[in-house]
Amino acid sequence: MRIVIAEDAALFRAGLARLLEDEGHQVCAAVADGTALLAAADEHRPDVVIADIRMPPAYTDEGLRAAIELRRVHPGTAVLVLSQYIETVYAARLLSVSPSGVGYLLKDRVADVDEFTDAVTRVAAGGTALDPEVVRHLLAASRRAGQLDSLTARERDVLALMGEGRSNAGIANALVLTLGTVEKHVASIFAKLGLPASETDNRRVLAVLRYLRS
Amino acid sequence: MNGASLVRAVLRGPFTGRARREVAFCVLTLPFGVFIPLAGFFVTVDAGLLLGAGPPWVADGNPSGQAVAAAVGVAALLALLLVMTGAARGLTTACRELAGWLLGERVAAPAPLPGRGLAARLAGGLADGPGWRALAYLLLKLPVMLLELYAVAVFWGAGLANLTYPFWWQSFRNHSPGTQLSAVPVITPFDWLGQGQFTVTTFTGTFAAFAAGAGLVLAAPWVTRAVVAADRRLIRGLLSPGSSARRLADLERTRALAVDDAAARLRRLERDLHDGAQIRLATLAMNLGMAKKKLGDSGAVPDADAARELVDTALRGARDALGELRELARGIHPPVLDNGLPDALASVAASSAIPAQLACRLPDRPAPAIEAIAYFCAAELLANAAKHSAASTIEIDLSERAGRLMLTVADDGRGGADAAAGSGLAGLAERAAVVDGSLTITSPPGGPTRVTVEIPLHA
């Protein structure tokens, strides 16, 4: 895959570029702020953009704004934003613009190389990658409201992984289950929560998130 | 002041802007001295007549007790009314503003009366300290106003009039010889309409009038200044918010400073963590993750060299992160401060780029917050000196005087330090102000620089 990185901390930027290249991807450009990111995306037309949220000049959410702008200008470019903090509102903003081909992860996740490259690949393929922290927040709120009482503990695990944007195969892998068992759990969750069955992983994520946020 | 410059000052006196502004002040505020006695007089007399008690005086003897009681009662009522309606405050607002504009006597206005509406005003007005003080000013303004009037009318007015005598004498006193002409009076400030007056009858005599006028006009600015000084004192004392209100305003200001300072420090701390240790640790985790991948799941290592290099990088990252966290922790609270200020300052002095001598004479240990402020001030002042002063030695002196901690940092550098807003020195002054302290800088161009921080031993 062809990737553009935007990250203001030089060490992290260099490390990330090396990680992606070691995994066989091509890093077309590694820049340090939102404006440069938009320019680099225009120039290289990458498959994926990986952007830090907090960057110069104002150190607030310029990475997120650049990512949203990028999705508007080049809908074919997937965007994965990284941050040292998880803010549910940022996730909501990102998803509300375009539900597919976006991701939002804590920077810590980079430490698990396989998980991280899996998330990059998923986003590039038009899927979603939400940080487990975001999903955990949403699940906790729904649990407090009693919406998830009908689910078993296993089903809640599956629901969380669906919320992160994983496919059935990915869920089976993560929970060390067979694909068939996962499919059964998924069907049961959709039935219990009264969600419409969806074919694609993407629409499934949206349905789950919409349910959790309601 | 030597003789020549004294003469110059006296000769210039009448022509200065200050003299003009003081005269303008006397004239413009004259009505304020008249208002209260006039109002009091008419209201008392009218009320006395209305009540049938008659005026409080009678032509042929002592007033009746009833008349005096009525007069006193009505005067008290009038005073009450003036304060409770806020009229006294309103009247003095103009005086305060004229004093600020013409005399440069800038006095803060007292806080406005609490509450709106007549009922609230009447209730609050009775206990309204500034209102009563405003009334006191209006009463005391009468004698001051009379003095101001005297200065303006006699010294300036009569003085200027006397100066004109030689110029019109020839035009008006050219009657044929033998005509009996009355003498023309010349006013002097001594018993100015009676014995003190003198008269002139000849043209030569007019020069005596001119001399008297010149003397009066030369003296006028100083006399005016003296009486206006009395008025300034009254305005400062009676029309300002009062000492407790000023103290309150001071406390509010320094509390706002403390709150802002705390918020700014937390923001800086978050920023330092975010851009420093946190990202270093994230990078370190990433390098370890990559190294783990290079080491493979089990058995033979597919890429040992790369793994070793990544572990090396991770190790460096861990050391950097530790160093950064240590600096940050020290910035929040230096552990050496727990041993007391002398130890902490000795450590600051020892690490100073410019050789620093430390003298500590502190009988008791100050409060922890005070120690922290003194420590950070000393560290910042030393850093400032190292950056800007080009000094060869610095002296740090810590002592106690009358329950206050005095920290002096003096260098023999090039001077010119300035506490303009936004500089580090202004920040230190604000930190000191939070605990009712102060920061004094003497730093003439060419040096030396001496900064003294004075804060209470216990906040």
Q: What is the pLDDT of residues B308-353, one digit of tens each?
A: 999 999 999 999 999 999 989 988 888 889 889 999 999 999 988 8
CA quadruple B37, B43, B46, B47: dihedral, nearest 10: -130
Weakest-pLDDT range from A156-160, B177-181, B284-288, B444-448: B177-181
Work out how many CB contacts closer than 8 A connect A with B: 50
Whether the predicted pLDDT of A103 surpasses 60: yes
Of all residues in chain A, the one with the smallest CA distance to B313 is A15
pLDDT surpasses 60 at B1: no
Tokens describing residue A198: 């969806």
Q: Measuring CA to CA, how many Å separate B349 from each of A37, B395, B431?
A: 47, 9, 21
Contact A84 B278 (CB under 8 A): yes
Question: Mind giving me the DSSP string for B158-176?
Answer: IHHHHHTHHHHHHHHS-PP
State the best of B280, B286, B320 to mutate against chain A, taking most chain A CBs within 10 Å. Answer: B286
Assess B257–A contact: CB distance below 8 Å, yes or no.
Answer: no
Task: Say yes or no to pLDDT of B437 above 70.
Answer: yes
Grade residue B450 by pLDDT with cuts at 50, 70 and 90.
very high
**Chain B nearest CA to A123, separation (Å):** 20
Express each pLDDT in B142-198 by its tens digit: 888 888 888 888 888 888 888 887 777 777 776 666 676 677 777 777 766 667 677
Estimate to the nearest angstrom the gap between the alpha carbon of B375 and the chain centroid: 29
pLDDT-wise least confident of A165-169, B48-52, B209-213: B48-52
Residue length of chain B: 459
Q: Which among A54, A110, A114 is the nearest to B286, CB-wise?
A: A110
CB-based contact, B318 to chain A, within 8 Å:
no
Question: DSSP letters along B326-391, please?
Answer: HHHHHHH--GGGGG-HHHHHHHHHHT-SS-EEEEEE-SSPPPHHHHHHHHHHHHHHHHHHHHHT--
Picking from A22, A59, A110, the nearest residue to B282 by CB comes out as A110
Tell me whether residues A113 and B289 touch, CB distance under 8 A.
Answer: yes
* pLDDT of the residue at B335: 87
How high is the pLDDT of residue B431? Answer: 86
With cut-offs at 50, 70 and 90, classify the pLDDT of residue B52.
low
The residue-averaged pLDDT of B238-253 equals 80
CA distance B123 to A87: 52
User: Closest approach of chain A CAs to the CA of B428, in angstroms?
Assistant: 26
Chain B residues lying within 8 Å of A18, measured CB to CB = 290
Q: What is the pLDDT of residue B191?
A: 67
ipTM over 0.90: no
Q: Tell me which chain B residues have a C-beta less than 8 angstroms from the C-beta of A84.
A: 274, 278-279, 282
DSSP tag of A147? T
- CA distances in angstroms from B204 to B118, B182, B188, B218, listed in the order given: 67, 16, 18, 22
Local confidence band at A7 (pLDDT 50, 70, 90 cut-offs): very high
Residues of A in contact with B293 (CB under 8 A): 22, 113-114
Tell me how far apart the alpha carbons of residues A82 and A129 are, in angstroms, rounded to a whole number: 11
* Burial of B429 (C-beta count, 10 Å sphere; 0-12/13-18/19+): buried
Mean pLDDT value across chain B: 83
Kindly identify which residue of chain B lies nearest to residue A56, measuring between CA atoms. B275
In the predicted model, what is the mean pLDDT of chain A? 89
* Residues of chain B contacting A116 with CB distance shorter than 8 Å: 289
pLDDT at B53 over 60: no
More confident residue, B3 or A81: A81
For residue A180, pLDDT over 90 is answered with: yes
Question: Mean of the pLDDT values across residues A70-78?
Answer: 91
Q: Using CA atoms, how far apart are residues A5 and A80, in angstroms rounded to an integer?
A: 10
pLDDT, position B399:
93
User: What is the CB-side half-sphere exposure of residue A155 using CA atoms within 13 A?
Assistant: 16
Length of chain A: 214
Asked whether residue A214 carries a pLDDT value surpassing 90, the answer given is no
Instruction: Check residue B244 and give its pLDDT.
Output: 77
Give the per-residue pLDDT at B193.
67
Phi, psi of B327 (to 5 degrees): -60, -45
B400 burial (CB, 10 Å; 0-12 / 13-18 / 19+) is middle
Cβ-contact A48, A79 below 8 angstroms: yes
Question: In chain B, what percentage of residues exceed pLDDT 90?
Answer: 24
Q: What integer is the mean pLDDT of A96-100?
A: 78
A15: helix, strand or coil: helix
d(CA A20, CA A1): 9
Neighbouring-strand partners of residue B451:
B409, B441
The whole-model pTM stands at: 0.65
The per-residue pLDDT for B395 is: 94
Annotate B223-292 with DSSP letters as a single string. HHHHHHHHHHHHHHHHSS--HHHHHHHHHHHHHHHHHHHHHHHHHHHHHHHIIIIIHHHHHHHHHHHHHH
pLDDT at position B122 is 67
Residue with the larger pLDDT of the pair B205 and B149: B149
Name the token pair of B123: 């209730």
Instruction: Name the interface residues of A facing B (CB cutoff 8 Å).
Output: 9, 11-12, 15-16, 18-19, 22, 54, 59, 84, 107-108, 110-114, 116
Higher-confidence residue: B150 or B406?
Answer: B406
The model's confidence at residue B422, banded by pLDDT at 50, 70 and 90, is: low
Does residue B63 have a cis bond before it (omega within 30 degrees)? Answer: no
Q: How far is CA B343 from CA B359, B409, B457, B458, in A?
A: 11, 16, 17, 19
> What interhelical angle do B424-434 and B368-388 show, nearest 10?
170
Structure tokens at A41: 């995306």
What is the rounded CA–CA span in Å between residue B423 and residue A105?
Answer: 40
Which letter does DSSP use for residue B61 in this model?
B
Instruction: Between B1 and A125, name the one with better pLDDT.
Output: A125
Residues of A in Cβ contact (< 8 Å) with B292: 113
Distance, CA of A22 to CA of A4 (rounded, Å): 15
pLDDT greater than 70 at residue B59: no
Mean pLDDT over residues B31-59, rounded? 71
Q: What is the DSSP letter of B108?
A: P
CB contact under 8 A, B288 and A111: yes
User: How far is it, in rounded angstroms, from Cα B137 to Cα A70?
Assistant: 70
Measured CA to CA, the distance from residue A157 to residue B323 in angstroms comes to: 40
For A132-179, the pLDDT digits (tens) are 998 988 888 888 888 888 889 999 999 999 989 898 999 999 999 999
Mean pLDDT of A21-42: 94
Phi/psi at B247 (5° precision): -60, -40
Whether residue A50 has pLDDT greater than 90: yes
Q: What gap in Å lies between CA B45 and CA B443, rounded to an integer?
A: 65
Whole-angstrom CA distances from B138 to B26, B125, B129, B228, B324 are: 14, 17, 14, 15, 65
| Per-residue pLDDT at A195 exceeds 70 | yes
> Cβ distance B218 to B11 under 8 Å?
yes
SS3 A138: helix
Task: Judge contact between B431 and B412, C-beta under 8 A.
Answer: no
Over the stretch B97-139, which tens digit does the pLDDT of each residue have? 888 888 887 877 777 766 666 676 666 667 777 888 888 888 8
Interface test with A, best of B267, B271, B283, B319 (most A CBs within 10 A): B283
Q: Cβ separation of B289 and A112 shorter than 8 Å?
A: yes
Average pLDDT over residues B354-360: 92
**Vertex A79: Cα angle to A78 and A81 (nearest 5):** 160
Beta bridge partners of B360: B398
Q: Please say if the pLDDT value at position B60 is more than 70.
A: no
